[in-house]
């Protein structure tokens, strides 16, 4: 079993000093045996520090990290049975690919030489790098170096993989290919994996579950779809999804939300679930905003808008809309099918369907529905 558990893990840098930084704050989560968990969040939120504590490259200020039943807080990195893959690849430049791959096995096991050779060659074949075994890292492309770095982790047959933005130095096309390949590889090997990225698309497409961090604090752990459809709070709602959810600050009175540009009546069942919240942010995903040419016959949830900019993105368009009476510049986004004919300056009707809205309490950011 290689279940990984973080129990109230905290990391304070410069503990007690004048510029103390709480990089990770009371983080608790379990990563199941064989699971692919993606740790995602903006720059500086504590992702790398979390990973480095699991790897043993950083001490834990408070709390406990367990691999299976074993507490590993005080184990040396070499004794943890965990392999880490870095963004920079961290290959030894003076060693060949073969030597780089052998190194970990020679250091941490007393495996006989011919067994090491056959493991290295088997893994190299699996990674498609068998022709590169006698080259030095400087003689490889970025993508090849990445494969070697992964191969070096895999050959050790560890209980867990830790990956810190391993694809971010690759170009967009190769990154997309490697994402799929990594997922397949991880599923085949069945090794518990924690993968760090600041890229929500990577998180959404790769993780069995994702853990969203902000400012050292865990905001939500769930499947990509759970985090997308039922975000715990405004931060997760805004971070997950591309383009981001539209947010409108409103004042609530009974079952009516009043924003600067519009009033929005809430269905009674929704309004009654909001408790005493009076400052409420209304959120709607761009793909849930419906756009139609006519601006007459506006219903309660339809608004007269002007198209500001149309941004084609492959199959669809991101349409930046302005409420017809709003000053220039204040826009929100609707994503519509690329086949539709909408141009800047068009007057359109935009519908924000009550079934698609998200509501957040402005005092806490917590989701109200």
Given the rule CB under 6 A, which residues bind ligand ATP?
13-14, 21, 23, 41, 43-49, 198
Cα–Cα distance for residue pair 110/274, rounded to 1 Å? 63
Taking the complex as a whole, how short is the minimal distance between the CB of residue 46 and ligand ATP, in angstroms? 4
Q: Which is nearer to ligand ATP, 41 or 286 (CB)?
A: 41
Taking the complex as a whole, how short is the minimal distance between the CB of residue 235 and ligand ATP, in angstroms? 14
Q: Which is nearer to ligand ATP, 84 or 289 (CB)?
A: 84
Q: Which is nearer to ligand ATP, 48 or 220 (CB)?
A: 48
**How many other CB atoms are found less than 10 A from the CB of residue 287?**
15
Least Cα distance to 282 among 342, 358, 337, 228 occurs for 358
Taking the complex as a whole, how short is the minimal distance between the CB of residue 218 and ligand ATP, in angstroms? 13
Query: Beta strand pairing status for 4-13 and 62-67?
Result: antiparallel
Q: Which is nearer to ligand ATP, 45 or 359 (CB)?
A: 45
Q: How far is CA 304 from CA 31, 139, 290, in A?
A: 48, 60, 12
What does the block give as tokens for 234? 């405004």
Question: Cα-Cα-Cα-Cα dihedral of 98, 104, 110, 116, to 10°?
Answer: -30
Taking the complex as a whole, how short is the minimal distance between the CB of residue 336 and ligand ATP, in angstroms? 33
Taking the complex as a whole, how short is the minimal distance between the CB of residue 14 and ligand ATP, in angstroms? 6
Taking the complex as a whole, how short is the minimal distance between the CB of residue 61 and ligand ATP, in angstroms? 12
Q: Which is nearer to ligand ATP, 150 or 196 (CB)?
A: 196
Q: Which is nearer to ligand ATP, 13 or 103 (CB)?
A: 13
Q: Which is nearer to ligand ATP, 46 or 166 (CB)?
A: 46
Taking the complex as a whole, how short is the minimal distance between the CB of residue 51 and ligand ATP, in angstroms? 8
**How many other CB atoms are found less than 10 A from the CB of residue 204?**
19
Taking the complex as a whole, how short is the minimal distance between the CB of residue 203 and ligand ATP, in angstroms? 13
290 burial type by CB count under 10 A (0-12 exposed, 13-18 middle, 19+ buried):
middle
The answer for 185, left when phi > 0, alpha when psi is -120 to 50, beta otherwise, is: alpha
Q: Which is nearer to ligand ATP, 44 or 63 (CB)?
A: 44
What does the block give as tokens for 307? 């198209």
The answer for 240, left when phi > 0, alpha when psi is -120 to 50, beta otherwise, is: beta
Taking the complex as a whole, how short is the minimal distance between the CB of residue 53 and ligand ATP, in angstroms? 9
Q: How far is CA 198 from CA 16, 39, 41, 47, in A?
A: 29, 8, 5, 9
Q: Which is nearer to ligand ATP, 215 or 255 (CB)?
A: 215
Using DSSP, state whether 165 is helix, strand or coil.
coil
CA angle 213/219/221 to nearest 5° reads: 90
What residues does 291 pair with on adjacent strands? 350
Q: Which is nearer to ligand ATP, 219 or 250 (CB)?
A: 219
What does the block give as tokens for 3? 């279940």
Taking the complex as a whole, how short is the minimal distance between the CB of residue 80 and ligand ATP, in angstroms? 19
Q: Is the peptide bond before 172 cis (omega within 30 degrees of 0)?
A: no
CB 211 within 8 A of CB 221: yes
Using DSSP, state whether 67 is helix, strand or coil.
strand
């Amino acid at each position: 079993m290689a279940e990984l558990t973080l129990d109230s893990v905290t990391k304070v840098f410069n503990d007690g000093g004048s510029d103390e930084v709480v990089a990770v704050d009371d983080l608790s989560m379990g990563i199941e045996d064989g699971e692919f968990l993606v740790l995602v969040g903006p720059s500086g939120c504590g992702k790398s520090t979390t990973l480095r504590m699991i790897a043993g490259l950083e001490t834990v200020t408070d709390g406990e990290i367990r691999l299976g039943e074993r507490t590993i807080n005080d184990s040396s990195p070499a004794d943890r049975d965990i392999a880490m893959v870095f963004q920079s690849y961290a290959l030894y430049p003076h060693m060949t690919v073969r030597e780089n791959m052998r190194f970990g096995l020679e250091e941490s096991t007393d495996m006989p030489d011919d067994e090491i050779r056959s493991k290295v060659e088997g893994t190299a074949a699996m990674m498609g790098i068998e022709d590169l075994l006698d080259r030095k890292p400087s003689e490889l492309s970025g993508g090849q170096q990445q494969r070697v770095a992964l191969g070096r982790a895999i050959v050790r047959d560890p209980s867990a993989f830790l990956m810190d933005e391993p694809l971010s130095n690759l170009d967009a096309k190769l990154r997309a290919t490697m994402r799929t390949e990594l997922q397949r590889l991880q599923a085949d090997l069945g090794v518990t994996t924690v993968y760090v990225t600041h890229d929500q698309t990577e998180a959404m497409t790769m993780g069995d579950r994702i853990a969203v961090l902000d400012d050292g604090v865990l905001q939500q752990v769930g499947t990509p779809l759970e985090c997308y459809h039922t975000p715990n709070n405004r931060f997760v709602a805004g971070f997950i999804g591309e383009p981001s959810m539209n947010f409108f600050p409103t004042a609530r009175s009974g079952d009516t939300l009043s924003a600067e540009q519009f009033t929005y009546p809430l269905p009674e069942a929704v309004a009654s679930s909001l408790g005493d919240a009076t400052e409420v942010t209304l959120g709607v995903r761009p793909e849930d905003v419906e756009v139609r040419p006519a601006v007459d016959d506006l219903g309660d949830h339809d608004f007269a808008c002007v198209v500001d900019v149309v941004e084609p993105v492959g199959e669809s368009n991101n349409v930046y809309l302005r409420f017809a009476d709003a000053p220039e510049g204040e826009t929100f986004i609707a994503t519509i099918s690329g086949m539709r004919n909408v141009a800047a300056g068009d007057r359109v009707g935009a519908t924000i369907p009550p079934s698609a809205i998200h509501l957040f309490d402005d005092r806490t950011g917590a989701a109200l529905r």
